[in-house]
Each structure stands twice: as structure tokens, then as C-alpha cells.
Structure 1
Amino acid sequence: MRLVVLGGGESGVGTAILGKEKGCDVFVSDFGKIKESYKEVLIKNGIDWEDEKHTESLILNADVVMKSPGIPEKAPIVKKLVEKGIPVISEIEFAAPFTKAITIGITGSNGKTTTTMLTYHLLQSAGLNVGLAGNIGKSFAEQVAEDKYDSYVLELSSFQLDGIINYKPHIAIITNISPDHLDRYDYKYENYIDSKFRITMNQTEEDYLIYDADDEAISEWLQKNKTRAKLIPFSLTKTFEEGAFIKNNTMEAIINQEEFKMETESIALEGKHNLKNAMAATSVAKLMQIRKATIRESLSNFQGVEHRLEKVLKIQNVQYINDSKATNVNATFFALDSMNTPTVWIVGGVDKGNDYNELMALVREKVKAIICLGVDNKKIIDAFGNVVDMMIEVQSMREAVIMAQRLTEKGDTVLLSPACASFDLFENYEDRGRQFKDAVHNL
């Protein structure tokens, strides 16, 4: 079988290694530059590769093509493959048949990294032999090639789900759905919603779908469409005979007639959205039959995820918070909602079709000044120019942090929560978050 891998990053190189091990004729092609460290791995494994081009004669003879999630369906080479009827799949689809491990698949517009890390933390603390992969950490395919784990927690983006045909997780989670990446879905929200729900399309009666019952898009989809999976809802406002919910400041999860309770104030992660993430992860832990004491301990000592409402430093009684991972309006909504002090908000970047009106009430209530950090800030200025007392445009993170310090008084918070992608001024959201932290440490 000829396997062509488009994209020589983590998922691409991992897929190439697994393909080679399973006896495929493997070729890796990247339109950009492949990092030296990945080139070395390919050479060491005797895998053919090219970069800075796509040679059609070497690609269009594939039996199957694994496309990295970053490559859009509209890319010319992908269109040609589809026209020829060659299956174009994701790493998850390619690797899953080669493992007997149980997979827990987690998707959603926001909260999926925190929920993934928390679920992994719960299962690992319980002594399960569990791997972590998907959008995060080491390539799933490469871990399958090494055959080390009995179960995997996978963070799955809509792009990875677009590339599945037969894959099904034993336990699926949809944390929430809000407009994001619409540029990849012809600007149609319903296409993006359908993409998320691909996570459950192959599930059977023996599988589970854990979902946010407070989420409008999820509830509407479930009313109109069927999944065979057993449904396990979670909610901040409703209660269930089976599911997870909050009642009298206590989180309760009732699953397979077993009840788990924990006071919400004992949960390490703060904010309402994190209670949802905790309910989702606890539901998985209950399904995996983890002891109550272990779940309680894990929820109370979990440290959170870098670049997601990460407390950086307190300087002159001003708290600096790095929420660089907030690349859409909905994520920033959660961040602003959890602020309890006057906030100087650093926002901006590459807009993915944002509607800032959703943030209006929170900005009026919580934000004293806005610092726009982006190449084009017009939309943000139009939205909030008359709402806050102070609006400043800057061109570097260092400048943003220095200005923020000037605008704060004791007891304030400086929040980096961009609501946008980072590619105009930074390599990625991690680079943006690190630059913020460095600038704060240099104040």
C-alpha cells in the first residue's frame, strides 16, 4: 500500500513511522519547510520525503493520503486527490485500526485542552496505563507504533474529525460549540457544528457521548439528529438522573447508578467554565471505574494548562493573567466572566470572523482600559471605542505590558485574552503567551 503523508510536522512524521512499521510504501511531502529535527527522524527511519514543494507524480499515485490538520481542504493538491477518488484521512483515522486501546475523544470550541489534560491527569493518577495525544503532545500514530498504552485521551479538533471515516472513540466529549474557524467551513456555522458531531457518527450503543446540556448548538443538533451512543449530559443549571450537575455548591455525577459528590470549592480550577470541564472529566473517570478518593484528590491538585487563565505574577498588587490560548470570542467571554477586579484587557490579532457584541455587557462591567495588540484593530476599536475610558494601540507585547502597568492601580488585573489568532505578530499562541510572561517578568 502506498501511503502519502501531507505535512511533515508531529502528526505527519508519526503517521509515516507507523505506516513504515506496518509495511506501507511511505512518502512525506510538505509545501513548507520540514524542521531539522523531523528530517532527522525521517532519514533515520529510511522514509522518503520532500519539502517546499508537492511533486504531483509522487503524490497522486497514493492508495491513501494522511493530511495534517493544518492543511485546508481547499489546497490545490488536496482537491486533485479528492477528484481522483483517493481517500484523504486524518492521523487518528489512519492509526486507530492498529491499536486495541480504548480511546477517549474530546472536542469542542473551547475547554478541550483543559478537559483533555484534566481527564488524562485523573486516569494517570489512578494508575491506568494511559497515553495523551491528538492536538496535544506526541503523535498518536507514533505512540501506536510503540504500542505502549491500554487507553488514550485524544484532543480532537474539527479538522481532525473532518478526516475520519470509521474511527470512533469509546467515550466522546463535546465541551461546547461556538463559532470558530469559520473561514475553513465556507463561513457556515452549521458546517462547523456538523464537523464537531462527527466524533459520535460511528459510535454504537456500547459507547458514550458526554456533552454540555447548557449549550444551544449541541442541544439543537441532538434534537434533530440521532446518535446511538449512550448520552451523558452535564450542566450548571439542570439536574439529571444520569449525568453531572451542580447542586448547592456541590458537583454531583450519577453514572451507571453510582453517585459521586464533591464540593465545588475543593476543585482546584476556578471559574464556571472549569466546573464544566471538571464535570466532563469526572464523567469519564466514573465510566472508567476510578475510585472516588482518587477523583477527589486529582480534581483538587490539578494545576491547569499553560496559556489558559494562567496566573503569571502579582506586581504592586496587580495580578497579570496569561490567557493567550483564547483565540476566539467565546474563550474570552469565559475569561472576562471570571474577572472579579477592574481589568486592563489586552486583545487583538487575526480575526476569524468575530462578533464582539457578545462581550459588550462584560466589557462595560469589568474592563477599565483596552490595549489593542494587532496589525489591524479597526473592528475592536469600532466595537468598544465608546464603551471604555481608555483605548490604546500597540505593536509589540513588551509595549502592551508596559502600557498596561501604567494604566493599573492596586487591586486591578491585567488580562491577555486576545479573542483572535496570533499569526500577525507571533508564531502561535504559545509564542504570544511566552512573550507576555517574559514582558511581565521584566517589569
Structure 2
Amino acid sequence: MKKIVVLGGGESGVGTAILAKKNKYEVFVSDKGMIAEKYKKVLLHNDIFFEEGKHTENKLFRADVVMKSPGIPDKVPLVQDLLKKGIPVISEIEFAATFTKAMLIGITGSNGKTTTTMLTNHILKKAEFNVGMAGNIGDSFALQVATENYDKYVLELSSFQLDGIMDFAPHIAVITNISPDHLDRYDYKYENYIDSKFRITKNQTAEDYLIYDADDEAIENWLKNNKTKAQLFPFSLEKSFEKGAYIKDNKIIVNTNSNTFTMSIATLALQGKHNTKNAMASSMVAKLLGVRNNTLRESLEDFDSVEHRLEPVLKINGVQYINDSKATNVNAAYYALDSVRTPIVWIVGGTDKGNDYTDLLPLVREKVKAIVCLGIDNSKIIETFGNIVDFIIETAGAEEAVKVAYKVSEKGDTVLLSPACASFDLFENYEDRGRQFKDAVRQL
């Protein structure tokens, strides 16, 4: 009987454990922290052995294969020791993919991957495909492979999940864009992070497709210097293509193998340049899978936006409050600042992942009237923007940040939570941060 050790008893870990047990593996789940009650119940119900609060190394080193949760860095000594002993350490995505014959659509990128994943899933559901959505979103991929019977999966894939693949190959891969993020996990080398994103295409064949942003310098440079076997389908706001998606006369034009789809940008449910790109990427997936133009058009017109991504909360005394808690990097905050047309009171800060804020200087100079810091260490934000914004203040929680923003804003302004940082210093995760912000706004 093959032995699998699962490191981490969260969503991906417990899903992997259930799938492994179903496929006759001997399973052991080990979590250095405490396992959440809801996951513990699932493990007990399925008679899966687990430990919490420690890693018992002699149990771990007996494994034939180890599945590592994406939150655990490759650099930790335990992972390095496993690799030295020749024990493969893989991601949930790699493990689960071997147990399904479903077509896989993989979507990665520094920003826009959640929206593109949800939009693609929405289109394919509307086209009546039997489709599941997983990866970095919703129920774990492994759990769905164990318990559902989908023909297709739309997978949102983080760089950490892609780091743990060996043979995983999506039939359609999408790279929405690449900008510096998570550099603390990549030796502060941008090129390592770029290579990680491109692992999505490393096992693709000439039968497969890679959809990508042709306006993105990092993507274009990688494709100039490296090879993929996949058929390339670019999208762009600036160039046009024989095969790909582009803009002409304020319309999206999508040309795939034998088919052209056009749609006015004005009728898209999601507005803003970055969302036009997300719509282009999703449209190309849909057309490559034969979705009818009418279905595609309807889907792009009636899609609801993603929670915590430029989500309008309330208008109070003529001030619009927007929750963009999902903006955990500088590029995402850039999109948010760029999309707001009124003076901004900007709530920013959190756990810095090696951020460089200089790209934001022109936008901040032009649009931001006040900065409310929401993090434990705000020194880099104050250093970067202190001279160009008249009002900058530190706060220690969502409620305080919202109250201060309320005081300094006036009719016609926008209060924008777009942190450009991770949330783990003051919150459980970006969802918790977004919900606390929304609750505080509602209590004003």
C-alpha cells in the first residue's frame, strides 16, 4: 500500500487526504499548527490519521509521496530534508490531476486570475457544460475529484501550487499578467517568480493552448527566450492579431481557429481596462471549447463581480466606499487607483512581501488626498508617500481605519480599501479584512 503524508490540514490537505484514501493510499495528515474544527471533523469521520501542533519526522520520512499545502514554503528545513531523502513533494493540483480524466483549464497570473476563473466558469455553466471550479478558490480540487464527476475543471492556480507540479498539464492555460508578488518566497528574484508562473505550460503539447496578455513585458520576454509546445493565443488592448483577442472601434474582437466573436466593451458587466482583459481571456477559452456567440455575449453581460475585488459597499453622505481587499500586491492596487475617477482616501498596508511602491507615485500624486495606513509596520508606505500626500495616519484595525477615512473624506470622494499587501498581520486573510471593512462601513 502506497503511503502519502499530507503536510497541512486545511482545505487542500483534507481534500487530498480524502482522495488518497479513496484510492487505497495509507494516509497521514501532519500540521504544525492546530487543525480547524471543521476539518478535524472530516478527518475523524473518514478515519484518517492525523497529528496537530507538531511534525513527527520518523512518520513523515516513511512516505512514498508528500503533498505540501501551498502556504508552506519550499525552503523550510522539513521540506528540504524530504527532498534530500528522495521523497517527492508535490502540490494538491499535481496529485488530484492524476485521478481525473476531466479536461483541465488552468488560470494563473499576479492579478485577475480569480475574476477570470469565475467568469470562465460562469460562461461554461451557462453553455451547459458539466464543469467544476477549484484550485485557489472554493472547495479543493482533490475533494471534487473524489466526490464529483465533472467533465471539465476551471482551476485558479497560484505560483505556489504550480511550484509543486511535475506532470500536470492543462489543455488550456491562461496567464492573465505577471507583476512582482510573493518575492519573499522566490529569493527576492523576479525571474524566479516569472518562471514559476510559466510552469503552467511546461507539460503542454501541440494539442494544447496558452492564452496570455501580449501587453505584459514579463510574459513577452519569457516567450521570446523560452519555448512552449502549446498553440499561442494572445490578447491585447494595443495590438491586433490573426489569432487572438484585441480591441477595434471599442469592440472586443476574438479570433480563434475558425471563429470570430465581437462584442461592445460598453455592454460588459465588468468595466475597467483590466476587466476587459479578463473578458478577452475568458472569451478565448469559451470559443476554443465551442461556446456559441449568443451564450458568450449573455454571460459577459450578466456576470456579477467578485467579492473583495473593487466591490462597491455603500455611498454615505456622497462618499463611495469600495472594498478591494483582494488587492494584495502593488499591481492590483495600481488597477484600483487607476479605475477610480474621484479624489481618493486610500486605506493601504499590511504584510509587505517585498513591495516596491514607486509605480504608484504618479497615480497617488494625481488622485489621493489622504492615506490611512492599516498594518503593523507602515514605515515603507510613509517613506514613499509622506512627501506627496498632505494627510497620512496610522491605524490598528478596520473599524478605526474606516472612522478616520469617514472624518477626512467629503462629498464626491471615494474611500478605497486597496491594501497592496497581504493581511496576516492584523487579519486571518484578505476575506476577513474585507468583511471587517464592510461591517465598519455599515456601522457608520
Could you say which TM-score interval applies, normalised by the shorter chain? over 0.9
Residue number in structure 2 paired with 1:155: 156
CA contact (8 A) 1:325 1:430 kept: yes
- 1:40-189 map, 5 Å: 40-189=41-190
Offset at 1:117? 0.5
Q: TM-score, normalised by structure 1?
A: 0.99
Residue number in structure 1 paired with 2:408: 407
2: distance between equivalents of 1:97 and 1:379? 44
The size of the alignment, in residue pairs, is 443
The one-letter code of the counterpart of 1:235 is S
Residue number in structure 2 paired with 1:244: 245
Residue number in structure 2 paired with 1:418: 419
Residue number in structure 2 paired with 1:256: 257
2: distance between equivalents of 1:216 and 1:234? 13
Offset at 1:270? 1.5
SS at match of 2:253: strand
Offset at 1:19? 0.5
2: distance between equivalents of 1:133 and 1:282? 19
Percent identity of paired positions between Structure 1 and Structure 2: 70
Moved more, 404-413 or 105-114: 404-413
Offset at 1:147? 3.7
Offset at 1:188? 0.7
CA deviation string 1:142-183 (max 9, x = no partner)? 111124200000000001101000010000000000111111
Offset at 1:44? 1.2
SS at match of 1:360: helix
**1:32 matches 2:33:** yes
Moved more, 402-411 or 237-246: 402-411
Offset at 1:257? 2.3
Offset at 1:275? 0.5
The one-letter code of the counterpart of 2:300 is L
1: distance between equivalents of 2:105 and 2:117? 9
Q: TM-score, normalised by structure 2?
A: 0.99
- 1:265-276 map, 5 Å: 265-276=266-277
CA deviation string 1:164-207 (max 9, x = no partner)? 00010000000000111111111111111000000000000000
Offset at 1:30? 0.5
Offset at 1:374? 1.1
Two-structure CA RMSD over aligned residues (Å): 0.7
**1:234 matches 2:235:** yes
CA contact (8 A) 1:124 1:130 kept: yes
Residue number in structure 2 paired with 1:441: 442
2: distance between equivalents of 1:248 and 1:114? 25
The one-letter code of the counterpart of 2:431 is E
Offset at 1:424? 1.1
2: distance between equivalents of 1:10 and 1:374? 27
2: distance between equivalents of 1:256 and 1:26? 45
The one-letter code of the counterpart of 1:301 is D
SS at match of 1:98: coil
1: distance between equivalents of 2:136 and 2:314? 28
2: distance between equivalents of 1:304 and 1:390? 32
The one-letter code of the counterpart of 1:202 is N
SS at match of 1:319: strand
CA contact (8 A) 1:242 1:257 kept: no
Offset at 1:310? 0.3
CA deviation string 1:17-68 (max 9, x = no partner)? 1111111111110111111111111111111111111001111010011100
Gaps of 5+ in 1: none
Offset at 1:396? 1.6
CA contact (8 A) 1:99 1:147 kept: no
The one-letter code of the counterpart of 1:108 is G
Residue number in structure 2 paired with 1:321: 322
